Structure 1
Amino acid sequence: MDTQEPEDPGDVLQSKAENLFHELQEHFQALTATLNLRMEEMGNRLQDLQRNVSDLMVQAGIHNAIKEQMVKPSLGNQQTE
């Protein structure tokens, strides 16, 4: 004979809701970890790109010309005061 009492529907619902919440939490943590990793990779790629662009500008002689253009206007402003 089965002597178990029927489960309370409120308890069943609460148990299912808790299971769903834990599953959602696990998925959210996995997604967060994936996004953090990808953002770190993107940051590294951007730093590499900045270094490569700077190297190319130096090789092309543009880097120094840009610095000179930035310095000249600021020197000109100081002289007129």
Structure 2
Amino acid sequence: MDARTPEVPCGDLLQNAAENLLEEVEEHFQALTTTLNLRMEEMGSRIEDLQRNVDALMAQAGIQSSITEPS
């Protein structure tokens, strides 16, 4: 008699299904990460545009900005 774990019927099939599911989850996670990074970059761009517009409006109004833009 063998001391190893008993073989489960369809064990290989279950393991393959679990591995496939894990691969799918990893692919979806990578796609989500990529999408989030792109949206964060886009939001950063919009914030920079907004800051430039606010600075321009403040300059037109003769108000000096107390916030300096990092170089």
Q: The TM-score by the shorter chain falls in which range? A: 0.7 to 0.9
TM-score normalised to structure 2 length? 0.76
In the other structure, the counterpart of 1:58 is 59
Q: Which residue of 2 aligns with 1:36?
A: 37
Q: Name the Cα RMSD after superposition.
A: 1.2
Number of positions where the alignment pairs a residue of Structure 1 with one of Structure 2? 58
Residue segments in structure 1 that go unaligned for 5+ positions in a row:
1-7, 68-81
**Higher Rg of the two aligned structures:** 1
1:10 shift after superposition:
1.2
Q: Which runs of 5+ in 2 are unaligned?
A: 1-8, 67-71
Partner of 2:47: 46
TM-score normalized by the length of structure 1: 0.67
Q: Give the ranges of 4+ consecutive aligned residues of structure 1 lying more than 2 Å apart after TM superposition.
A: none
Equivalent pairs: percent with the same residue?
Answer: 67
